[in-house]
Amino acid sequence: MKVTLLPSWELTTEHAASSHGQPVFVNRADNQAYGPADVLEPYPSWGWVTGAMAVKRMAARRKFTDDERAFVARFIDLGKRGGQ
């Protein structure tokens, strides 16, 4: 599954870094993948956040199908539990 969060970011299981169907957060510009507990700076104005927090922020203003919403929630939940 693949969900575009913003034009340059997506959540997907179709990346080589995805393992056992777990979604990864991917920067589409450089194909770098992040897990929910990884710390990154998606945009300079956002500062440093975990992958789960970045996905939560990006997803807050989007409308999703039920399947997409569950997919996003699964990634965020993994971040609450401390990793992948």
pLDDT of residue 82: 65
> For the chain, what percentages of helix, strand and coil (3-state, to nearest 5) are there?
30, 25, 45
Cα 33 to chain centroid, rounded: 9
2-16, 30-44, 47-61, 67-81: range with lowest mean pLDDT = 67-81
pLDDT of residue 80: 81
pLDDT tens for 13-49 read 999 999 999 999 999 999 999 999 999 999 999 999 9
pTM for this predicted structure: 0.92
